[in-house]
Structure 1
Amino acid sequence: MSTTTHATAAGSGRNATATFARKERGTAAVDTARVDAVARDALGALHEVIRKHRLTYAEYDALKAWLIRVGADGEWPLFLDVFVEHVVEEVVNADRRGAVGTIEGPYYVPGAPEFASEGTLPMRAGEPGAPLTFQGSVTDLDGIPIEGALVELWHADDAGFYSQFAPGIPEWNLRGAIRTGADGRYTFHTIQPAPYQIPTDGATGALIASAGWHAWRPAHLHLKVSAPERLPVTTQLYFEGGEHVGDDVAQAVKPELILRPVDNRVTYDFPLDPA
């Protein structure tokens, strides 16, 4: 991790890119017909945008410079996860009947400390933020508890930064996993995160500023829930009445993903589809 004392978009972006590069991906042969179809349609759509808006050479050169900067800043995972992933997720999970998914984002890290049934996320002494107990159960679609399900939870701190992607934060801060028992239940003790801006000092922020958009994400918890012979689900959960729930820059909020805490406690269940 960087030893600098200030988080930057470029620093977070490079860490997100490095994390993505380490992910295991399939080795299936390339389907040239599918690549041809998708690439032709994508380029065709871009060509139509150019024609519709009568793009100038100055604007074309600005686009090239911006694309180069996205790569130099290491922000392709950030940009794609904020502006594109929500549509991919919508298509991929269209036929699910159980737990509702949404985007993963660029800041997931596998291998977080694991607890059985109940645990407190690792955090710094005096970690800022209101205490939150997040609990629920993992079941099949008939409501039968699933033993041995893995519930992974991670989220930003009260300043909007993620451990392993911003400097000066302990490695597993606000990251953890619970393995459910026979009752399928899990209970996490953590803090309630705050809304935050996505990094704005890099190429993604330059686009947002130039377009006059805002860069805010509502406060949210990230979850991955998996179990043998069940479809895993990746999702985010938001807080009712929270700032930017209605205008999330990543367009990832869904009505089914709204939490309604009572006395700093909230319950949310995950019915998993069969694999």
Structure 2
Amino acid sequence: MTDTSTAQATAAASGAAATEQFRTRQPTSASGADTARVDTLVTELLTAAHDIIRRHKVTYEEYNTLKTWLIQVGEDGEWPLFLDVWLEHVVEEVAGEDRQGSKGTIEGPYYIPDAPRRPAEATLPMRENEAGVPLLFQGQVRAVDGTPLAGATVEIWHADADGFYSQFAPGLPEWNLRGTVVADDQGNFKIHTVEPAPYQIPTDGSCGRLIRSAGWHAWRPAHLHLKVSAAGHQLVTTQLYFKGGSHVADDIASAVKHELILDPTPGADGNSREVTYDFVLDKA
């Protein structure tokens, strides 16, 4: 077992880490935004909010409760969590609607770029006696026309058997269960890791209060995160789930697609599982 407890992995700490990571990767200036586009999107967003207020006869008490909650989301550093859980899946759906290759889904708030590079067959960094069923995840990266993509990169990260991500919960080694695997000259890769667990998104902060107030659950199904790329091709960001797993059918983030569900088989040693999943990339 890990030495990280649920109490230690607070929403505030996770939110602060996710916010900082996002800021390092995203320009702060919006000077390049199309003015007409911003006008259209913001006006329609506000119009939709106005319509909700009118249709449901929102009271000042409800309005002030919402205002207080929105302020607290920012103070808790939970905007990345809120947006990635409840909005990103629709943005991804629109962004990938013309893709012919592999299906994508949300990135989520726990991606860290520049994970250490590893060869085509690699074991992800993990602690001695890392909890979880050993998993061999293997496959091939190829183009839409079937051409193997030599040297494609497969970035992979996932939660541990307690549902925690390295760099977002204390007590975990920096790159635990994270890596960038470089496929061989035929686009093949083999990644040795452990199966992650389903987990609840942090519930001790503002997002948790929303979940409780609405009577929702906070669970995400067990999943592997991946970013797969190759020169001259579109990067695909995705998550892969496990057939029969808890909350595959009612993921709080609405990110599951049937094409993304794995069905591992027992490994030869009887103590592990293995699965093959190929990635197909569109031309850039």
Task: Using structure 2 for the length normalisation, give the TM-score.
Answer: 0.94
- Equivalent residue in structure 2 for 1:182, among 173, 180, 185: 185
Give the Cα–Cα distance (whole angstroms) in 2 for the partners of residues 135 and 28 of structure 1: 43
How far, CA to CA, are the matches of 2:152 and 2:279 in structure 1?
Answer: 10
Identity of aligned residues (%): 62
State whether structure 2 residue 17 is matched by structure 1 residue 18. no
How far 1:24 moved relative to its partner?
A: 4.0
| TM-fit CA distance, 1:30 | 2.1
Equivalent of 1:151, from 151, 154, 158? 154
In the alignment, what sits opposite 1:139? 142
Q: Determine helix, strand or coil for the equivalent of 2:49.
A: helix
* Counterpart residue number, 1:238: 241
Instruction: Tell me how large the CA RMSD over aligned residues is.
Output: 1.4
d(CA) in 1 for partners of 2:260, 2:209? 30
| Residue in 2 that maps onto 1:269 | 278
Match of 2:218 in 1: 215
In structure 2, the gaps of 5 or more residues are: 267-272
| Map of 2:263 onto structure 1 | 260
Cα shift at 1:138: 0.2
Equivalents in 2 of 1:231, 1:30: separation in Å?
23
SS in 2 for 1:186: strand
Aligned-partner SS, 2:265: coil
Deviation string for 1:160-182 (max 9, x for gaps)? 11000111110000001111111
Q: Quote the Cα distance in structure 1 between the aligned partners of 2:180 and 2:84.
A: 23
Distance across 2 between alignment mates of 1:45 and 1:150: 41
Task: Give 5+ residue unaligned stretches, structure 1.
Answer: none
Of 169, 172, 180, the residue aligned with 1:169 is 172
For residue 248 of structure 1, what is the aligned residue in structure 2?
251
What are the superposed Cα offsets for residues 40-66 of structure 1, whole Å, 9 maximum, x if unpaired? 000000111111111110000000000
Q: Tell me how far apart the structure 2 counterparts of residues 136 and 153 of structure 1 sit (CA, whole Å).
A: 13
- 1:36 aligned to which of 21, 36, 39: 39
Aligned counterpart, 1:72:
75
- The match for 1:109 among 103, 107, 112 is 112
Return the letter of the residue paired with 1:18: E
TM-score, L = length of structure 1: 0.97
